[in-house]
Structure 1
Amino acid sequence: MLETRHRVCLGRGFMARALDHFVLGVADLDAAGARFAAMGFTVGARNKHPWGTENRIIQFADQTFFELITVGDASAIPPHAPRHFSFGAFVRDALAKKTGLSMLVLKSADAKADTAEFARLGIGDFEPFHFARKGKRPDGSEVEVAFSLAFAAEPAMPDCAFFVCQQHFPQNFWSGSAQQHTNGATGVRRVTIVAENPSDHHIFLSAFVGERAMRSTSFGIEIAAGQGIIEIISPEGFRFRYGTKAPAAPSPTFAGLEIATTKLEGMHVKGFETHAGGLTAPADHDFATALRFVPVGGVAV
Structure 2
Amino acid sequence: MTRRIDHLVVAVRDLDEAGSFYRRLGFQVGARNRHPWGTENRLVQFSGSFIELITVGEGAAIAPHQASAFSFGAFVKDYLLDREGLAMLVLDSQDAKADAAVFSEKGIGSFEPFHFERSGRRPDGSETKVAFTLAFASAQNSPKAGFFVCQQHYPENFWNPEFQRHDNRASRISSVTLAAPDPDRFRSFLTAFTGVQSSSPDGDDSSFRLGEDRIDVLTPDDAAEIYGSVEAEMEEPSFVAFAVRVDDIHRHANWLDAAEIPYQHIGTRLIVPASAAFGVAIAFEPT
Deviation (angstroms), 1:58: 0.4
Contact 1:27 1:286 (C-alpha < 8 Å) held by counterparts = no
Distance in 2, Cα, partners of 1:160 & 1:226: 22
Partner of 1:294: 285
Distance in 2, Cα, partners of 1:121 & 1:74: 37
Correspondence list, 1:233-252, <5 A: 233-245=218-230, 247-252=232-237
Partner of 2:140: 155
Partner of 1:5: none
Partner of 1:124: 109
Distance in 1, Cα, partners of 2:142 & 2:2: 22
Q: Does 1:217 align with 2:201?
A: yes
Contact 2:249 2:284 (C-alpha < 8 Å) held by counterparts = yes
Distance in 1, Cα, partners of 2:65 & 2:232: 27
What secondary structure is seen at the aligned counterpart in 2 of 1:187?
strand
Q: Does 1:259 align with 2:244?
A: yes
Distance in 2, Cα, partners of 1:188 & 1:285: 19
Aligned-partner residue type, residue 57 of structure 1 = L
Deviation (angstroms), 1:16: 2.9
Distance in 1, Cα, partners of 2:77 & 2:210: 28
Count matched residues.
Answer: 280
Partner of 1:9: none
What secondary structure is seen at the aligned counterpart in 2 of 1:37?
helix
Partner of 1:45: 31
Moved over 2 A (4+): 243-250
**Which residue of the other structure, out of 91, 100, 105, is the alignment partner of 2:76?**
91
What secondary structure is seen at the aligned counterpart in 2 of 1:91?
helix
**Which residue of the other structure, out of 18, 22, 30, is the alignment partner of 2:8?**
22
Distance in 2, Cα, partners of 1:286 & 1:244: 12
Partner of 1:229: 214
Deviation (angstroms), 1:156: 2.6
Distance in 2, Cα, partners of 1:31 & 1:291: 17
Distance in 1, Cα, partners of 2:233 & 2:152: 35
Correspondence list, 1:57-206, <5 A: 57-61=43-47, 63-73=48-58, 75-206=60-191
**Which residue of the other structure, out of 277, 280, 283, is the alignment partner of 2:274?**
283
Distance in 1, Cα, partners of 2:201 & 2:182: 13
Deviation (angstroms), 1:245: 4.3
- TM-score (norm. length: structure 1): 0.90
Distance in 2, Cα, partners of 1:214 & 1:119: 21
Deviation (angstroms), 1:151: 0.4
Aligned-partner residue type, residue 44 of structure 2 = I
Aligned-partner residue type, residue 63 of structure 2 = P
Distance in 1, Cα, partners of 2:58 & 2:211: 35
Aligned-partner residue type, residue 221 of structure 1 = S
Gaps in structure 1 of 5+ consecutive residues:
1-14, 297-301
Deviation (angstroms), 1:74: 5.1
- TM-score (norm. length: structure 2): 0.94
Computed over aligned residues only, the root mean square deviation of the Cα atoms, in angstroms, reads: 1.3
Partner of 1:6: none
Cα gap change, 1:98 to 1:74, in 2 (>3 Å): farther
Cα gap change, 1:246 to 1:56, in 2 (>3 Å): closer
Cα gap change, 1:75 to 1:146, in 2 (>3 Å): closer
Contact 1:54 1:69 (C-alpha < 8 Å) held by counterparts = yes
Distance in 2, Cα, partners of 1:112 & 1:201: 24
Q: Deviations over 1:150-197 (max 9, x none)?
A: 000011322111000000100100110110111111111110000111
What secondary structure is seen at the aligned counterpart in 1 of 2:275?
coil
Deviation (angstroms), 1:246: 5.2
Deviation (angstroms), 1:100: 1.3
Contact 2:106 2:192 (C-alpha < 8 Å) held by counterparts = yes
Deviation (angstroms), 1:285: 7.0
Distance in 1, Cα, partners of 2:152 & 2:100: 15
Deviation (angstroms), 1:273: 1.4
